[in-house]
Structure 1
């Protein structure tokens, strides 16, 4: 890299706001869980399982925003305003369709959905109630994600951070009021947490829309919904989007199957796993900014035709992720016994939670490497079929079979089940490294000839 100072300045500008945003979201999520945790194991399991199906939607619509980010970053790097606008508008339409497809069943057949996750009637009813209410916020969240993607790709990552900070603070305050019935409100328990989530998502959407309009006018950015998108461009979007959509959907479906495995081991085991989710989100969130910055910066360089520079940039991001994740993994191991004492649960649940966190700490550096390398770098060139294959092999060929065998054949404790099925991450990392070194992922989407040749497997 010719100018290391400028490089790390760009990394700081992109990664810091996204990292702060993710850390704050995860931090407040821990506070939320402590509040819900005071209601007992059934409520913890209910919000955990109801949130899992909700996360299936979030992961799927995030796939669209990921595809949008790949396209926008490359067109922005190539200084193509029309390509940026068409990428944004088409992604907004695709994500809206997905939101509707998830919202309707979540409202109508929530109990039937939750029966796939648990056999316990109380847990099914609690999780269904949570899912039904929280689904009202799916559409506002969809618009928020796509607008945030555009703002980050054009260098305004701080505004999504501001809106998110406001939303998580509001969500926490409303949780306290609605869950426990403060300031004249009746205590609504789990349903109060769902209502608080919806209100905060709507407020976040309104705020990010305001920032979006402000940046559009300030920078005179060309954004218009009155645009005729040609079939060739739609095809280009779909070539990038469909593999990511399948990849993220299948990955999230796999995560949901993992949750079904945990849920059928027992309610206390499921509660212990749910208690670890915030710590996992917090630690992974610390690297979301690095991962997002990697995708944007590498994508811009590929769009500008700087293939060698993008390769070296990618390696720097991977090294940063490995070093940081090892350090944080050690901190999680040391603080796990203190963390579990925050919850009003049985000693067995606390002990199990602690063991799961130890397992998570061991595998953390592999998870982070995959997030940066497979999740951002390999996708930045638009040849997303590669990551679809990698994810399918890891989750469905290794992870799910290992989970089923360890849980229901060998009847292992949940912390062993979690650690062994998490080894699928190591398989994905090994394949990703091979693909990365071969450079077959490096494409310039804005150059149709280059992109078509790469889709046919021609290595540059």
Structure 2
């Protein structure tokens, strides 16, 4: 029972943080939806670029998170700060190409996602502005992971509330021109996002330093990054980055397929992803909590205890996923009516959400293994190989054949992509049972 309490204590604030984030995305999409399907599609495609950037960055930072959790398990604050310093440098470095492409060549970037010129031109306005927030987001993400690793999960929750409530308020002012502000539409939504991320970044850094929390960095920590530590760090971080890059690029390929199926399909996918986020945010928070707890244990070589915790976390996650899936399917039939889209788009959303939620327990099992267990133990190369191969050799080809060759409907094409999740779960089950992922990366 004690294990379940520890998991819930860490996962609940993470889940609330993600639910708030998803709620704001929902409101954001709802506000932009008032401008029509082209606006939804334009912002949706622009956010695909951010999605790609976010996941690669997530891979890098979660690679650093392996060291955060295990160093904190050993109570080595200097090692924790040194890991944070290297992660921040790396995160900012990898932000450069995304910033350059998105800020200076937004039309060229979006041209890869959609053939619709109207959508590209409107999306370029949005993408160019939010590109300025990429470095800010990198610093915020590293800080959030560090705070989770030392079990201060309530602080990222508070910062998320501040940041995203600011985003909603600024959206209201700038999209629709309220309280004397100009009516900027999609451009206003981008400016609101930029300002909100600036607020979030400054808030996270100030809290860590003013409260003198573990993990804060100074110049000496950058000097203490030895070639040996650098090599050890990237031995685990590069596969997690490659994993997220392969996965995010594959998901981006899905979006490109959907975009070529029509603007209404882009709008349906955008609305569906926003609603789906509520269920996934609650369930996948358990994977993040498990990663922290198990990482702390592996840092002190408590292997059997870590495996026992993983089994209990998996049972809890699967139970919650079933309830979350049922609730999400039910509320979708009502929520979709709030969007200013055609009946055809609403119908596609209802059907596809039902398909997605039917596979949620399988998707969560995969997420628990890749993000929660294998990554906590530094088994990052195996998870990269499994995720990359199943997505690119099964999921992407099936979506391309179904959507572009056979001209199947959006729900049917989405169903085809779930084949990848099923096969992946079988492979990960055997890896999990082998216990080869139970490693102390600091040794």
Whether the aligned pair in 1 keeps the contact of 2:113 and 2:255 (CA below 8 Å) is yes
Residue 221 of structure 1 deviates from its aligned partner by: 6.0
The residue correspondences of 1:96-107 to structure 2 (distance < 5 A) are 96-107=92-103
Residue 65 of structure 1 is matched in structure 2 by 61
Q: In 1, distance between residues paired with 2:105 and 2:31?
A: 27
Does 1:150 find its partner at 2:157? no
Whether the aligned pair in 2 keeps the contact of 1:46 and 1:127 (CA below 8 Å) is yes
372, 379, 386: which is aligned to 1:383? 379
Residue 405 of structure 1 is matched in structure 2 by 401
Q: 1:62 to 1:220 in 2, by over 3 A?
A: closer
Q: In 1, distance between residues paired with 2:216 and 2:99?
A: 31
Residue 222 of structure 1 deviates from its aligned partner by: 6.7
Whether the aligned pair in 2 keeps the contact of 1:78 and 1:446 (CA below 8 Å) is no
Residue 46 of structure 2 is matched in structure 1 by 50
Q: In 1, distance between residues paired with 2:187 and 2:61?
A: 29
Residue 111 of structure 2 is matched in structure 1 by 115
Q: TM-score, normalised by structure 1?
A: 0.94
The residue correspondences of 1:25-424 to structure 2 (distance < 5 A) are 25-215=21-211, 217=212, 223-226=217-220, 227-424=223-420
2, 5, 8: which is aligned to 1:9? 5
Q: In 2, distance between residues paired with 1:113 and 1:97?
A: 20
SS in 2 for 1:423: helix
Deviation by residue 1:388-447 (Cα, 9 ceiling, x = unmatched): 011112210111011011112221101110121122111211111110100111110111
Q: TM-score, normalised by structure 2?
A: 0.97
SS in 2 for 1:422: helix
Whether the aligned pair in 2 keeps the contact of 1:322 and 1:368 (CA below 8 Å) is yes
User: Number of matched residues?
Assistant: 441
Structure 2 unmatched runs, 5+: none
Deviation by residue 1:19-73 (Cα, 9 ceiling, x = unmatched): 1100011012111111111111100100110000111111111112101111111
Q: In 1, distance between residues paired with 2:337 and 2:29?
A: 13
Whether the aligned pair in 2 keeps the contact of 1:276 and 1:353 (CA below 8 Å) is yes
SS in 1 for 2:440: coil
Q: In 1, distance between residues paired with 2:188 and 2:267?
A: 19
Residue 225 of structure 1 deviates from its aligned partner by: 3.1
Does 1:435 find its partner at 2:417? no
SS in 1 for 2:113: coil
- Identify which range, 226-235 or 9-18, moves more after superposition: 9-18
Deviation by residue 1:301-345 (Cα, 9 ceiling, x = unmatched): 111111001111111111111111111111122222211101111
Q: In 1, distance between residues paired with 2:202 and 2:162?
A: 11
Whether the aligned pair in 2 keeps the contact of 1:177 and 1:183 (CA below 8 Å) is yes
Residue 359 of structure 1 deviates from its aligned partner by: 1.1
Q: In 1, distance between residues paired with 2:210 and 2:424?
A: 41
Deviation by residue 1:167-216 (Cα, 9 ceiling, x = unmatched): 1111011111111110111111111111111100000011111211134x
4+ long deviations beyond 4 Å: 219-222
